[in-house]
Structure 1
Amino acid sequence: MKKSADNFLTPKNKPSFLLLHTLGWSAYVMIFAVDNLFFYRDFNKLGLDVFYPLFLAGLFASLLTWPLRYVYRKLWRLPPQWLIVAIVFCSLVVAAIWTPLKNLSMWYFYEDFNVLGLLTGGDLDPLFKWYMLFMSVSYAFFMILVWSSLYFGINYHYRLVNEKQLHLDAVRLSHVAQIKMLRYQINPHFLFNTLNAISTLVLKGDKQKANGMLTRLATFLRFSLDNDPEKKITLYEELKALMLYLEIEKTRFDERLTVKFQIEPQTEALLVPSLLLQPLVENSIKYAIAHMATGGVISISAYCKNNSLHLEVADNGPSNDNAQKALAKHTMSVKSETKGGVGVQNIIERLRVLYPNKHEFQVYKEKQKGYRVLIVMPMEYP
């Protein structure tokens, strides 16, 4: 079972490129048609027929600038100075192709120019010079440059709006995730089990162990309450809080729970969203370890690979034939959590907003027993 990251590269709510492209060149045709009809009518030989050569010129420009969209997509991440050079060069190339086509259209309607003769090598007007095909190339270059500027301007605008929205979503989801996680962590079931374990220790006369458990519970709850949800913390701090939680659970489960850490030293200084691993560990304890009589193991790993931080939480799940119901429940838990549960769904949403198109969240069913959750995110330093 795999959860893939959403693609956020395309700005949200941006109008269709086809719509803007068509409207832009249609406006070009209409503006110059009106210009010729009403402002230069004394010199206009065609009258309303001036629309035809302008329509052809606009059509040629539309077809020639359409591929620029894909060229500019490839050049988008160039440094500003090289991007400007690329835009100027591309605009000049398109203008050099568009100008002859536009001029031939105008001459065909205005001057009865023999376009077919030019294409077939027939007789031409002796006054015709080949360089005349490129007359007004500077005008065409300016128009293509305007189109290019509008293309980048519109995209930059919507990307900026999208980035601002992502930031607002990150702040909102961070607060919501913090509240939901607190509710998830401080649920009556968790507090009841913890306090019940403390009460049992007191009745047994093991006051020192009970006091230690209370201290760890208070420290863990204080971390949850005092932690700023808008800020990331180092993996070292995240693991420190996680160990407080695990020490509480290990007191409850005693020998039934073994926790293994495989943490590469260089990963401890990297930044991660706070309370990222605890819901995954709690999910494993609740739906796997709690249904095992003995031998429960949770493995937590952190390592760097391909310039990314990899975090893994794995459990060995129910391991005997009499635990099929528990195994089924564990399976349903992982599936439902991935789709819409409180803890894991919060992780998915936070990763989606904090690392758009730069993260992975995958849940694997191990071949023998148990589940493994893999989180991949960019390496960030304080």
Structure 2
Amino acid sequence: MPNTAAEFIANKSKPSFWWFHSLGWTVYVVIFTIDNVFFYRDYNKLGGDVLYPLLLSGLFAASLTLPLRYIYQRCWNLKPLKLIFVITAGSLLVSMVWTPLKALSMWYFYERFDVLALILGQPPEDFKWYTLFMSISYAFFMILVWSSLYFGINYHYRLVSEKQQHIEAVKLSHISQIKMLRYQINPHFLFNTLNAVSTLVLRGNKERANGMLIRLSTFLRFSLDNEPEKKIRLFEELKALMLYLEIEKMRFDERLTVEFVIEPEAENLLVPSLLLQPLVENSIKYAIAQMSEGGLIQIKAKCIDNYLHIDVNDNGPANQTEYDNRLTEATQTASSHTGVGVKNIMNRLSVLYPEDHQFEVVKGMSEGYFVKIVIPCERA
């Protein structure tokens, strides 16, 4: 029974031991049969004189090495020196049994040796018992090769399974991190929207409050239907953004105008879901909310050299204090609720496109701020 998850995965991914075991000893029989045929230079001897004793020898070896497998399974976690001792002792013990059996089978077919008489204690007068063990070094080497292959193959598949486990762990970690970052958006946005609804209700504007709640439910349904670790087409991302903007337009009326400049090619490219909403929310917070009229947000997307360039621009007041506030938000920790918008996007991009993306916030010469995102083009 496997002791660890790595062993369990390795056992599932690697071919059967019996397949390797049978193939190995079959190759042994075939190679030495061919070798002996060429030695005899008589293909008629392929039958009784060559093939049969080698088949018996391979069968003996395959049977005798089976107990080694179960011994090695129980000694897998031994320290290297102890493991080497077990392998050496086990190989020597098996070779001491295999060598006389192999010798007797060879003698029986090559020299018509009377094996039964030897077993009954009636060996020939010139028989020397030590001759049964004359090729023990050869047998010991063969069993060591089998042991080395056993450990080598198992180590290989364990390393493969551990590497796969590591990849899966990193993937799951990234997915969890993305979920954590993406799910921070909804409570943040939900708080602002419900606060606006509460204000409308207090003012007696129930129709607008009801409309805002309907749009809010539609937006949240979209958010929940899209897994945060998955990417969606830019076209779908813009549809979700429009749901958000419809809510915000009810708050700001004519103070908010949004322009879209999207290349047709860019619409089918993949982007992280709800990538733009925090950026637009940031512009509304620092730009539109500070203006009495004429607020403008521009969203642009185009492809350049196999990279998708996305810009979110506004025409808000470009004083140094507000600019410093944005930079402060961009550098706050992810655990800080006040800095969740920009930092959230930065972290998500770092997870999804490590070392292969660009994110920057730039202050305009006379007004507004410009957020630029550059990510690799991925087609749906």
Structure 2 length as normaliser, TM-score?
Answer: 0.52
Q: Distance in 2 between matches of 1:381 and 1:372?
A: 26
Q: Is 1:177 the counterpart of 2:181 in the alignment?
A: yes
Deviation at 1:194, TM superposition (A): 3.5
Matched, 1:229 2:221: no
Cα distance change of structure 1 residues 228 and 367 upon mapping to structure 2, 3 Å threshold: same
* Equivalent residue, structure 2, for 1:44: none
Alignment correspondent of 2:292: 293
Counterpart residue identity of residue 183, structure 1:
P
Contact 1:198 1:214 in 2 (8 A): no
Counterpart CA distance in 2 for 1:361 and 1:177 is 17
Q: Which residue of 2 aligns with 1:213?
A: 212
The whole-number CA distance in structure 1 between the counterparts of 2:170 and 2:312 is 28
What does residue 311 of structure 2 align with? 312
Aligned equivalents of 1:161, 1:351: Cα separation in 2: 24
Query: Any conservation in 1 of the 2:300–2:311 contact (CA below 8 Å)?
Result: yes
316, 336, 351: which is aligned to 1:353? 351
- 1:197 aligned onto 2:189: no
8 Å CA contact retained: 2:178, 2:351: no
AA partner of residue 373 (structure 2): I
Match of 2:329 among 333, 337, 341: 337
Matched residue, 1:270:
269
CA contact (8 A) 1:302 1:312 kept: yes
Asked if the contact 1:198/1:213 (under 8 Å) is kept, the reply is no
Amino acid at match of 1:334: R
Q: Secondary structure at the match of 2:172?
A: helix
What SS class does the counterpart of residue 311 from structure 1 fall into? strand
In the alignment, what sits opposite 2:130? Answer: none
Which digits, 9 at most, give the CA deviation of each residue in 1:314-365, with x for residues without a partner? 111127xxxxxxx455323311221122121111111111111111111111
Q: Unaligned 5+ residue runs, structure 1?
A: 1-155, 320-326
Deviation at 1:160, TM superposition (A): 8.0
Question: Greater relative contact order (Cα 8 A, min sep 6): structure 1 or 2?
Answer: 1
Q: For 1:258 and 1:267, how far apart are their aligned partners in 2?
A: 22
- CA distance 1:159–1:260, change in 2 (3 Å): farther
Question: Secondary structure at the residue paired with 2:257?
Answer: strand
* CA 1:239–1:357: 2 relative to 1, 3 Å: same
- The verdict on how the C-alpha distance between 1:301 and 1:201 changes in structure 2, with shifts beyond 3 A counting, is farther
SS in 1 for 2:346: helix
Q: What displacement does 1:195 show? A: 4.0
SS at match of 2:205: helix
Instruction: Name 1:168's counterpart in structure 2.
Output: 172
Offset of residue 252 of structure 1: 1.2
CA gap of 1:360–1:269, structure 2 versus 1, over 3 A, is same
Give 1:180's aligned amino acid. Q
Residue identity in the other structure for 1:185: F
TM-score, normalised to structure 1, is 0.52
Alpha-carbon distance change, 166 to 343 in structure 1, aligned in 2, over 3 angstroms: farther
Q: Distance in 1 between matches of 2:213 and 2:320?
A: 34
Cα deviation 1:102-122 (Å, max 9, x = unaligned): xxxxxxxxxxxxxxxxxxxxx
Which residue type is aligned with residue 333 of structure 1? Answer: N
Q: Which amino acid aligns with 2:190?
A: I
1:378 correspondence with 2:355: no
Go from structure 1 to structure 2 and tell me whether the alpha carbon gap of 1:161 and 1:347 turns closer, same or farther (over 3 Å shift): farther
Aligned length: 215
Separation in structure 2 between the aligned mates of residue 351 and residue 305 of structure 1, nearest angstrom: 19
In the TM superposition, residue 235 of structure 1 has moved relative to its aligned partner by: 0.8
Q: Within 1, Cα distance between the matches of 2:353 and 2:360?
A: 15
Identify if the C-alpha distance between structure 1 residues 214 and 368 changes in structure 2 by more than 3 Å, giving closer, same or farther.
Answer: same
**SS in structure 1 of the partner of residue 184 of structure 2:** helix
Structure 1 vs Structure 2: percent identity of aligned residues? 52
Amino acid at match of 1:215: I
Task: Describe the shift of the 1:234–1:199 C-alpha distance in structure 2 as closer, same or farther (beyond 3 A).
Answer: farther
Structure 1 residue 161, shift from structure 2 partner: 8.5
Secondary structure of 1:380's counterpart equals coil
Rounded to whole Å, the distance in 2 between the matches of 1:372 and 1:158 is 45
Aligned-partner SS, 1:230: coil
Give 3-state SS (helix, strand or coil) of 1:174's partner.
Answer: helix
SS of 1:186's equivalent in the other structure is: helix
Aligned partners of 1:220, 1:351: CA distance in 2, in Å? 22
**Shift in CA distance, 159/317, structure 1 to aligned 2, threshold 3 Å:** farther
Is the 1:202–1:210 contact (alpha carbons within 8 Å) kept by the matching residues of 2?
yes
Query: Which structure 2 residues correspond to residues 107-146 of structure 1 after superposition, within 5 A?
Result: none
Contact conserved, 1:194 with 1:248, CA < 8 A, in 2? no
Residues 310 and 374 of structure 1 are in contact (CA less than 8 Å); yes or no, is this contact kept in structure 2?
Answer: yes
| Residue identity in the other structure for 1:226 | D
Distance in 1, matches of 2:164 and 2:181, equals 25
Supply the distance in 2 between the matched residues of 1:201 and 1:316 (Cα, whole angstroms): 32
Deviation track 1:284-317 (CA, whole Å, cap 9, x = no partner) reads 1011110111111111111111111111101111
Question: What is the CA RMSD across the aligned residues, in angstroms?
Answer: 2.6
Q: What SS is found at the alignment partner of 2:229?
A: coil
Maintained 8 Å contact 1:170/1:350: no
**Cα distance in structure 2, aligned partners of 1:335 and 1:161:** 39
How far residue 214 of structure 1 moved from its aligned partner, in angstroms, is 2.8
Q: Report if the CA contact (8 A) 1:257-1:295 is conserved.
A: yes
